[in-house]
Structure 1
Amino acid sequence: MMKTKTIQYFIWLCLACALVSCKDKWADHLGDGDAFDQKTLYDVVTSDANFSAFTELLEQSGYAEALKASKNYTLIIPNNAAIATAKMQYDFADSAVVRSFVGYHLINSIYNVHEGTDTVRALNFRNKYVEFTRGELDGIVPISQNLIASNGLYHVVNQALEPLQNIFTLVNSQFSETAQVEAINSFDTLYTEDDLIYFKSSPVWIAEVRRNMTMENKKFTYFVVDDENFDSEYAKLQPFFATPYEEGNTHRPDSTTTFFTKKALLRDFIVEGALDESDLIGELQSISGTRFHLDPANIISSHKASNGIVYRVKRIEYALADQIKEIKVVGTQPIGYKQNDKRGNIFFRDKRDVNGLPYTDIQIYDHKVTAFYAKYRVAGMNVVKYKVYGRAIMGLAGDPQTATFTQYVHFFDRTLTSVNEPDLYKKPVINSEGNNDTRMAYEVQPLNHEEVYLGEITQDQFGNQLLLVMSNGTGPIILEYLRFVPIVQ
């Protein structure tokens, strides 16, 4: 019995030592806080006269209960002097302003201030990020830091954090009268039908442009240019985005020439990452892949946003050859076939070429169907002439096809009518020999790893172009990709 009690005492002693050790290590990790204070973050704020002004705002905000909870938070506390200054900037008679202001200083989870660390972005209650960077909080040096409460950490500042606007809100508040921002707002369409007001905002516009201006978990650099520059760039691009849809069409505002031209241009004013002025020297690349240069002499002003930085500049000039981009159609992504009962003859292959480089392709073999085809869609073709190139590799070890064969590329012609689908795919082209034709012949030779020039096709309106890759008789089809290179001056 004595032996059992001795063992139990020893176990309890070890557990107690472990708890003390963990407590010390946590305090050491967090910084210069005292021993664990049993006060909650709410108690810390409300019991200190230096924080009385913030306490009043906290109670008004509705966030007070959160600071009483057991979940761990980080609280940045502006002292009374900081709140006095903030009252000259914000209307705290507005409950929404109070909630936004207080929520900006409240962070989920624990974040300590450390002078030696790189930037850590902490998400606050307003779904914005506070940056902890080498001893600073959004550029503010706390007067006290890493202080411990029972449910988290708190840092004291004598300057309140400034709730920053995202890029979309910032450009609307500061540059709303520019042609560029007017173009941005034109995508949110209000129209009336049967005495009802409808709101329409294209998901394509949101995904490709607006989301990059509003998302908080990434940073971007945004440029706002003079009206003359915006208008001239728009006029330059417009012919390449011509569509047959009538302007002012309330049901399809996202299918007009204006829509596509503006969307394409507005993508080119956004660069991923928050760039300092020193980073603007040299080649830049927009989120759409357009390369450009900015003359530093054209910078008028800079404005910090919650998700990056906005530069007001006089002008940015883009080369048309960079804006009208090549398009690649991947062989492993067909949208259909001549018939759907040949899945056993269709192979999506992962291979390596003779140089050991990996590639993927489609092979359709032994299908026994005359003029079998795979159908593809070329997305977003501009109104321009394209040179067409293809890459198809065969004859490697294990390939069933080892002899030269020919396959054909046919393009959909919207002017034709027929009940036989292949008869719709006879759009005029220039073949590889420079002659007028209704298809491009693609001769695939053994172990040829180079692209093959197939010919030229002219796109007469902006949008998608359907095509068929068709077998010669019952022969095979092999395709890694087709590449469409625009011919622009």
Structure 2
Amino acid sequence: MNIKNALRVILFAICVLVVGACKDTWDEHTEILANESKITLLERIAAEPSLSKFYGYIVQTGLDSSLSSSKTYTVWAPDNSAIDALIAQDASYLADPVKLKDFVKYHIANLIRPSVQGSSYIRLKTLMGLSVSVSGNNYEEAVITKRNQYAKNGVLHIVNAALKVKPSLFLASLELTTNVNGTSQGDDMRALDTLIGAEIKRSPKWASIVSKLSEQDSLYTFFVLENNAYDNEKTKILPYYKSNRVRPDSTQSYFTKVTMLENLLVRGLYTIDQLPDTLVSVAGTKMPVKKSAIVSSYKTNNGIVYVLNELPYRLKDRIREFKIEGEKPSSLNFSRPLNTFYRAKLDSLGKIFYDIEVWNSGLSNAQVTYIKPEVHTARYDVYVRSVSGVQGDPQTTAFTQRFGLSVSQIFFTHVVNPRRYSEVYLGQYTVAQYGPLTWRLISANTSSQGANTMILDYLRFVPVLPN
């Protein structure tokens, strides 16, 4: 036999041995699964000596029938040592029948979720109705010490911590604001919560905040300020929400409260080691965060709460400039579809911009209306950009257009010169009431072609704020 043939024989023999070994291993694995599929989750838990206390709680709360049924479940069962640690921490917790049943249901989900080491966190809803964060290695902060114990109606994982049911951010924050130094933030939350209970349809902004603080599918970070800090920041913004309209959605106090609270809420859970020096609230406001200002922190079911003794912000980050985009009118007081153009053009730097042009409408004093919601009470510097005479534009000569509430209430007159790409300063305008701002683009008082044109890229409003 030559060397080549000898090698072939050796390789063949190795393959036979490997396949045989794999077959034996697979047969053993199949036998284990077959045996596991014959017992229920309840029986599997009962067979684990380290889970005797959790098994007792399952029976005591009447959940044994569920774990013996044909429905499928995943159980993250705390071992006896974990339960002993919880009892040592709070002896009364598991002695309460209601809390005990919630505790057991908090460790069970109505689906099969195998544990794959290294997999990332997902949110799963428990039998209690609250969601938890689960990864291949963890059930919330508990570590999975024994995984993937299959039964015919689900899978069991053993964990090293028994978890109390955590409240939502909303409930935790209400409780915290009763206990921290001062109750200003809590008073505002409770006042708004009472309001929403009575007039929920008229309080959509507060309803949205409560929804985020309570929802189970997403995680948030919420800041609770001590009394002096909360009052100081609230005082800063109070003048910018002046209103004398009807409750509940239009009072100065209401909008100030809502704005304060929505700007203390951030999407995502940031542990203290993950906190950057600046966060952005759900309202889009930049929030400077000092770790040295953190008094305490509390993990909740859907995020984390920090108690702070200060959270100073820049006023310009709260009372921000805004634009009215010309190509997005609320309405027109005329119908000239063949003379009204929503354009996409290139400026002198080759950058695309969008605008509206009304050309040769045959109308005098034509009006395009814009409504900007939630404009702060303040004095604004107003800038405009209107570009005419670009390639393909029939308007090649200068023309005059106006801005105001109506023909009899003109605020600014604007001369548009061809091919001017820079902004033009119109002047200052004061918004006296917080709420929607109505603004109209008005053509010249003539029906002549080329003289009654209207063009608007945008209006920019910059609040004049104290230094």
**What is the TM-score when the length of structure 1 is the normalising length?**
0.77
| Equivalent residue, structure 2, for 1:100 | 102
Looking at structure 1, the residues matched to 290 and 152 of structure 2 have their Cα atoms a distance apart, in angstroms, of: 53
For the 8 Å contact 1:363–1:479, the answer to whether it is kept is yes
CA offset at residue 453 of structure 1? 2.1
Corresponding position: 1:464 with 2:463: no
Secondary structure of 2:143's counterpart equals: coil
Distance in 2 separating the partners of 1:255 and 1:350: 38
1:200 aligns with 2:199: yes
Task: Provide Cα deviations, 1:290-333, integer angstroms capped at 9, x if missing partner.
Answer: 32423332221111122221111111212222221112222233
Distance in 1 (alpha carbons) for counterparts of 2:316 and 2:212 = 24
- State which of 107, 121, 124 in structure 1 corresponds to 2:123: 121
Q: 1: distance between equivalents of 2:356 and 2:42?
A: 63
Contact 1:274 1:308 survives alignment (8 Å): yes
**Counterpart residue number, 1:216:** 216
Q: Distance in 2 between matches of 1:400 and 1:65?
A: 80
Describe the shift of the 1:451–1:81 C-alpha distance in structure 2 as closer, same or farther (beyond 3 A).
Answer: same
Cα offsets for 1:29-86 (capped at 9, x unmatched)? xxxx952521343443456565454345445657656545656542212344444555
Q: CA deviation at 1:446?
A: 3.8
The partner residue of 1:161 within 144, 151, 163 is: 163
CA distance in 1 between partners of 2:61 and 2:426 (Å): 67
| Aligned residue number for residue 454 of structure 1 | 426
Corresponding position of 1:392: 386
TM-score, normalization by structure 2: 0.80
In structure 1, the residue matched to 2:14 is none
TM superposition outliers: structure 1 runs of 4+ over 6 Å: none
Name the amino acid aligned to 1:370.
S
1:132 counterpart residue number = 134
Deviation at 1:225, TM superposition (A): 1.7
Cα distance, 1:66–1:454 mapped onto 2, change above 3 Å: farther
User: Which residue in 2 is equivalent to 1:231?
Assistant: 231
5+ residue gaps, structure 2, are 1-21
Counterpart in the other structure of 2:15? none
The whole-number CA distance in structure 2 between the counterparts of 1:75 and 1:221 is 28
Count of aligned residue pairs for this structure pair: 427
The letter for the 1-side match of 2:454 is I
What RMSD in Å do the two structures reach over aligned CA positions?
3.2
Equivalent pair of 2:76/2:157 in contact (CA under 8 Å): yes
C-alpha separation in 1, matches of 2:80 and 2:431? 66
CA distance change for structure 1 residues 455 and 159 in 2, over 3 Å: closer, same or farther?
same
Identity rate, percent: 29
State the alpha-carbon separation in 1 of the partners of residues 351 and 386 from structure 2. Answer: 14
Structure 1 residues 75, 446: closer, same or farther in 2, change over 3 A? farther
Describe the shift of the 1:62–1:256 C-alpha distance in structure 2 as closer, same or farther (beyond 3 A).
farther
Stretch moving more, 58-67 or 461-470: 58-67
> Alpha-carbon deviations, 1:185-240, whole Å to 9, x = none?
1112369xxxxxx8234533325533332223222222222211222222222122
Identify if the C-alpha distance between structure 1 residues 344 and 40 changes in structure 2 by more than 3 Å, giving closer, same or farther. Answer: farther
Distance 1:166 1:358 in 2: 46
Whole-Å separation in 2 of the counterparts to 1:454 and 1:167: 46
Q: Distance in 2 between matches of 1:63 and 1:358?
A: 63
Output aligned runs, 1:44-443, within 5 Å: 44-45=44-45, 50-58=50-58, 67=67, 72-86=72-86, 88=91, 90-91=93-94, 93-95=96-98, 97-133=99-135, 135-176=137-178, 178-189=183-194, 199-201=198-200, 202-245=202-245, 252-339=247-334, 341-411=335-405, 422-423=406-407, 426=409, 438-443=410-415
Q: Aligned residue for 1:433?
A: none
Q: Does 1:479 align with 2:456?
A: yes
Q: Residue in 1 aligned with 2:16?
A: none
In structure 2, distance between residues paired with 1:346 and 1:71: 62
Instruction: Give the drift of 1:277.
Output: 2.4
Contact 2:206/2:258 (CA < 8 Å) preserved in 1? Answer: no
Structure 1 unmatched runs, 5+: 1-19, 192-197, 246-250, 412-421, 427-437
Summarize deviations over 1:237-293 as a string: whole Å, max 9, x none. Answer: 212211124xxxxx7233211111122222222223222323435233322233242
